[in-house]
Amino acid sequence: MSAERYNRQLILKGFGEEAQQQLLKAKVLVIGAGGLGCPALQYLAAAGIGHIGIVDDDTISLSNLHRQILFTTADIGKLKVEVAAKRLQEMNTQIGIIRHPIRLQQNNILDIISRYDYILDGTDNFESRYLINDACALLNKPLIFAAVAGFEGQLAIFNVPDHLTPSTNYRDLFPIPPDKGEIPNCAENGVIGVLPGIIGSMAAAEIIKLVAKIGQPLTNKILNYNLLTQEQYTINISNGSDYTLPRTVDEFLNMEYQDTSEGPQGYVEIDASELVKLQQTESTILIDVRERHEVPLLDKQIYTQVPMSEFSAFLSKEFYQKHVVLICQHGIRSVAAAEALQEKYGAAKKIYSLKGGIVKWRDHFLRS
């Protein structure tokens, strides 16, 4: 351990060398290297958390840069995990960075989080939040939850009992997942870049408090922060009963998590690898629903362009292909188009929407 590197922490009354040693021994998994994960990762690495794992399967896009401050314009198109790991290692050569360039799913999440002491959920979708929560509850892993919506942020610590009450989990706040599209995400609703920076930094602080056993972590509490007024308040969380947590691995693997395949109207959300398979499937049409001025331009021999502004006219026509794949910039308009097609054709056609759109899967389109 470099005493000079951590000097300002070591001389801090109430912290000292023993707390620093606890940080160096700790293993923390950060799920999502986005607006919340980036600042959290930087402060965890700088503080001297000895082993930091990063989970993210996404690549860097231009729209990320105003809030995902580990990345630069030169990084566009690269894997977030790889760029983040390199920058963090440059910040602190005395710690270990473990890359997990994958999407967490039921068949891999238990193995991955079992290797860590503390889990930070910095994801932005409900499917992942419930999946991570249930896995942490099953394996008894402390879960630090961070989220932003509009001008407000939330922060909580689950699965850690305090002196008075048993531990709580995310389902004690939200027992039932919302319907798809009921609550907009950042891609739909927008976010001021500094807000996830504030909440992500606060999440890092809560992890440091837990590891070093200092202060009063937000155990069984949720903190709400308003950027516009700089007001914040904390609410105690109590145990609920209107939900079921998996008690065994088999029960966990048999749980159903929203958005894993079929949408509420019968269409299916897919990733780039599934898109490649469908391209090779007979009777498939790939439809780009972006407006004609949007970039990047796609190969017109492969993709049929039907802008959303012209989609109603397209709906009045018939086409023979059985498989229909809708593509847009962020995966939002393609969902609307999928719903419209599903309403018209029902089970007569297989309808798909590219989840996250071209922005998320940009590398695939640049190669195709």
Per the structure, the complete domain to which residue 334 belongs is given by 268-367
Q: Residue 327 burial (CB < 10 Å; 0-12/13-18/19+)?
A: buried
What pTM, to 2 d.p., does this model score?
A: 0.71
Q: Check whether residue 276 and residue 228 sit in a common domain.
A: no
* Out of 175-184, 246-255, 308-317, least confident range: 175-184
Tens-place pLDDT, residues 95-107: 999 999 988 989 8
CATH number at residue 70: 3.40.50.720
pLDDT at 260 over 60: no
Round to whole Å and give the CA distance between 64 and 187.
10
Same domain, 97 and 203: yes
Query: Is the residue at 167 inside a domain?
Result: yes
Mean per-residue pLDDT over the chain, rounded? 89
Last residue of a domain, one of 226, 253, 280: 253
For residues 358 and 264, the model is more confident at 358
Q: What is the mean pLDDT of residues 120-143?
A: 94
Whether residue 366 is predicted with pLDDT greater than 80 in this model: the reply is no
Residue 341, in any domain of the structure: yes
What pLDDT does 259 receive?
53
In this structure, the answer to whether residues 249 and 272 fall within a common structural domain is no
Share of residues in the chain with pLDDT > 70 (%): 92
Q: Answer yes or no: do 201 and 87 share one domain.
A: yes
Residue 117: inside a domain: yes
pLDDT tens digits, one per residue of 151-200: 999 999 999 876 667 889 999 988 877 766 556 555 556 789 999 999 99
Domain boundary (253, 280, 303) is at: 253
Does residue 129 form part of some domain? yes
Q: Which two tokens stand for residue 260?
A: 């894993």
Whether residue 243 is found in the same domain as residue 307: no
Output the 3-class SS for the chain.
CCCCCCHHHHCCCCCHHHHHHHHHHCEEEEECCCCCHHHHHHHHHHHCCCEEEEECCCECCHHHCCCCCCCCHHHCCCEHHHHHHHHHHHHCCCCEEEEECCCCCCCCHHHHHCCCCEEEECCCCHHHHHHHHHHHHHHCCCEEEEEEEECEEEEEEECCCCCCCCCCCHHHHCCCCCCCCCCCCHHHHCECCHHHHHHHHHHHHHHHHHHHCCCCCCECEEEEEECCCCEEEEEECCCCCCCCCCCCHHHHHCCCCCCCCECCCCCEEECHHHHHHHHCCCCEEEEECCCCCCCCCCCCCCEEECCHHHHHHHHCCCCCCCEEEEECCCCCHHHHHHHHHHHHHHHHCEEEEECCHHHHCHHHHHHC
Does residue 162 sit in the same domain as residue 17?
yes
Q: What is the mean pLDDT of residues 82-87?
A: 96
Between CA 202 and CA 329 the distance in angstroms is 32
Going by pLDDT thresholds of 50, 70 and 90, the confidence category of residue 340 is confident
Q: How many domains is the chain partitioned into structurally?
A: 2
